[in-house]
Each structure stands twice: as C-alpha cells, then as structure tokens.
Amino acid sequence: MKNSKVLLIYTGGTIGMKEEEIKKSLKPFNFNQITEEVPELNKINCRIDAISFDPPIDSSDINITVWEEIGDNIYKNYHKYDGFVVLHGTDTMSYTACALSFMFQNLDKPIILTGSQLPIGQVRTDGKENLITSIEIASAKKNNKSVINEVAIYFEYQLFRGNRTTKVSSQHFDAFMSYNHPSLAEAGVNIRYNSNSFLKTNDQGFQYNFGFDPRIHVVFFYPGILIKEITQAILSSSSNVIILNSYGSGNLPINEILYSFIKEQSKGNKIFLNVSQCPSGSTEQNMYENGDNLKKAGVIGVRDMTIEAVIVKSMFLINKFPKDKIKFIENFNFNIAGEVT
C-alpha cells in the first residue's frame, strides 16, 4: 500500500512533450503512463493518478476559464488525494499560481505547480527532476499531515510560494524567483523545508471560491509618456481597476493634469493601484513627494506584491465586489493567501 495519493493534472506546456521517433516532432504523451516515461516515480511511496487537458493548452493561451477548470478538477478530487501537482507552461505559471491561491483558501494539503524549459523526453531535460521532486513534496507528510499546505511553484531545486513568484528567464533552468519572500523548501541531497516561511491558516476552514473579471487596465510608465493618452485610455476603458506600473518605490512624474485626473476619477468608481516596476522591494508612497502626492490623490500602494499577484487579486475581487468599491479596497488590503508581507 502506498502511503499517499497524488493527482497529476497536465494542462499543457513543454514538460509534457515527447519527440516522435519517425517525424521528429513534439507531441504530448499519455500521463496515465507516466511511470513508463519516468520510472523513478515508482520509488516514491505514493500512488499517482493523472488527468490531462485535451487538447493541451499553451501557456500563452491560459485564461480565467482554464483557471476555473483547473480549480474544479482539484475541488472535485480534493478529499480523494493528499496533494496535487499541476503541470503548466512556464510563461503564465505565476499568474495561475496566484489564481489558485485565491481560489483555495485555508488548504490542508499542497497544490504544486511545475513545468520545464526542455521537454521531458529530451536527454538534458529539467522536467524529470521538477516532476519527481514536485510529487515527492506533494506526497510528503509529517505526523500524518501534509508538510506543505499552500499553492506553490517548484522549479530547479526551489519551492516558492506561488503568488510571490515571477518568471525571470526564458533560457535558464532556474526560471523563477521569489524576491520578497523566502523559499518554502530547497531540494539538495535532502529536501530541506523552511517551516518559518510557511503560510499560516486561519480558523475559517477550507474554502473554494471561483470567478474572475479580466477587465483590468494596466498603465506602464516610461520617461516621456504622454499623460493625455493615459487619461484618454483610462476614460475609454471598461475597467474600474487601474494598475499604475510605477518607478522605484512607487513614483510617477509630477504632473498636475495626471494628479487632478486621478483625484477626480477616484471620487467615482475607479480604483487606482500603484505597483513598482522593480521586482524586488516594496511600493512605499510615503518615501518621496511624488509617491505622497499619489496617495493624497487616492492611489493605493500595493506594498511588496508582485505585478502578477496585483493583477489576479484585482480580477478576483472585482468579480466578487463588482459595485462595492469600499469592500474591494478592504479586501485588497487584506492578506488573503500570503501574497503580501
């Protein structure tokens, strides 16, 4: 008898590809026969079942419908398995990890996302190690309880909180970083868990929430940007959530037209969020005059959340509170799933 049961969910991505011997082209392989492709999995004290999306979904095609399909597959099987491993393309993996972290609150078992930079059928693939260790972590227990109880990304020997990650490389095997939160575990000769960085659950019990509204407007600032074009784009947007992708600690150009516009729009239904272009550090609107002016105009600093987390959290909350700006802001400032320090 195997001690743990893990459900493998293949959504798509490089990791699930195998080269056909005759055509020499890549095609998805059957994950129900995963132990034939990766026989090392037989040595893990764990039963592995698999679900595959048909057809597989390219990472760049991921959308809110796919998030909900992944979530529904996990929720349907939640009490049947001890952990879940979601195989996913790397380009949008951090966004999906954020979505799942907001959908599944107060987990008592792990949801681990992983993938690879090279197909699992290639000689130098990073996919085998990522898959094997992800399953090992997903099945790991201590005192008959799961060691990890949150949504995480495992990649190149590091386990990170999913909603703290950013993809930083399209070429290197260590493709993800978590700049503002320490790793949950590091895989070497042994897997070393950093329990001090684990997510603390609350007493509200396990919850499954779904629903996202993708109407989010992001403004990326750069020197010389035309303020008039920004204001026109915001006015014509159907979104009530405007994410200002600012410089450094949350600074934007000193421009009275921009400040007056934000102040006026903030009196209505528009919600302005300030997230830094820097992947490391925090948005601190009190630090400089430019940032303080934004705060006075009604802009909300997001502290040390990633841009991915800010976007997905906004989509999640605007769907939940479509006409209640106060509730949106209250919940946005609340730490839902360890996405902010």
Within-domain flag for 337:
no
Return contacts of 303-306, CB within 8 angstroms, 24+ apart.
Answer: 303/340, 303/341, 304/180, 304/340, 304/341, 305/275, 305/339, 305/340, 306/94, 306/98, 306/163, 306/164, 306/165, 306/166, 306/180, 306/279, 306/339
pLDDT for 339 equals: 98
Is 240 a residue whose pLDDT tops 80?
yes
Q: Could you tell me which residue, 35 or 280, shows the higher pLDDT? A: 280
Highest averaged pLDDT of the listed ranges 13-22, 24-33, 60-69, 287-296? 60-69
- The percentage of the chain sitting over the pLDDT mark of 90, rounded to a whole number, equals 78
pLDDT for 24 equals: 58
Is 242 a residue whose pLDDT tops 70?
yes
pLDDT for 19 equals: 67
Is 11 a residue whose pLDDT tops 80?
yes
Question: Which of the listed residues 174, 208, 242 is the one where a domain comes to its end?
Answer: 208
pLDDT (average), residues 65-91 = 97
Question: Which of the listed residues 208, 239, 255 is the one where a domain comes to its end?
Answer: 208
Domain count, the chain: 2
Is 23 a residue whose pLDDT tops 70?
no
Residues 295-310 have pLDDT tens digits of: 889 999 999 999 999 9
Q: Average pLDDT over the chain, rounded to whole? A: 92
Within-domain flag for 254:
yes
Question: Which of the listed residues 157, 179, 208 is the one where a domain comes to its end?
Answer: 208
Based on the fold, state whether residues 201 and 251 are members of the same structural domain.
no
Based on the fold, state whether residues 204 and 224 are members of the same structural domain.
no
pTM value?
0.95
Based on the fold, state whether residues 164 and 240 are members of the same structural domain.
no
Question: Who's near 23: CB < 8 A, 6+ residues apart?
Answer: none
Based on the fold, state whether residues 242 and 200 are members of the same structural domain.
no
Based on the fold, state whether residues 8 and 39 are members of the same structural domain.
yes
Closest CA to 239 of 272, 285, 199: 272
Specify whether 14 is catalytic. Answer: yes
Q: If pLDDT is split at 50, 70 and 90, which confidence band does 20 have? A: low
- 295: CATH: 3.40.50.40
Angle (deg, nearest 10), helices 256-266 and 289-297: 30
Return contacts of 287-294, CB within 8 angstroms, 24+ apart.
Answer: 287/249, 287/250, 288/249, 288/251, 289/254, 290/251, 290/252, 290/253, 290/254, 291/246, 291/249, 291/250, 291/251, 291/252, 293/254, 293/259, 294/244, 294/246, 294/250, 294/252, 294/259, 294/262
Give the dihedral of Cα atoms 90, 92, 98, 102; nearest 10 deg. -120
* Across 15-24, 98-107, 197-206, 323-332, least confident range: 15-24
Based on the fold, state whether residues 122 and 268 are members of the same structural domain.
no
Q: If pLDDT is split at 50, 70 and 90, which confidence band does 1 have? A: low
pLDDT (average), residues 44-49 = 92
End-to-end alpha-carbon separation of the chain, Å?
A: 41
Is 326 a residue whose pLDDT tops 90?
yes
Please compute, for residue 270, the number of CA atoms within 13 A of its CA located in the half-sphere on the CB side: 23
Pairwise CA distance, residues 75 & 69, whole Å? 10
Please count the other Cβ atoms lying within 10 Å of the Cβ belonging to residue 246: 26
Residue 267: domain span: 216-332
Is 34 a residue whose pLDDT tops 80?
no
pLDDT for 22 equals: 58
- 24: CATH: 3.40.50.1170
pLDDT for 289 equals: 76
Within-domain flag for 338:
no
Per the CB < 8 A criterion, the answer to whether 46 and 4 are in contact is yes
∠ CA 6-192-160, nearest 5°, is 65
pLDDT for 21 equals: 60
Catalytic residue among 11, 14, 96, 125: 14
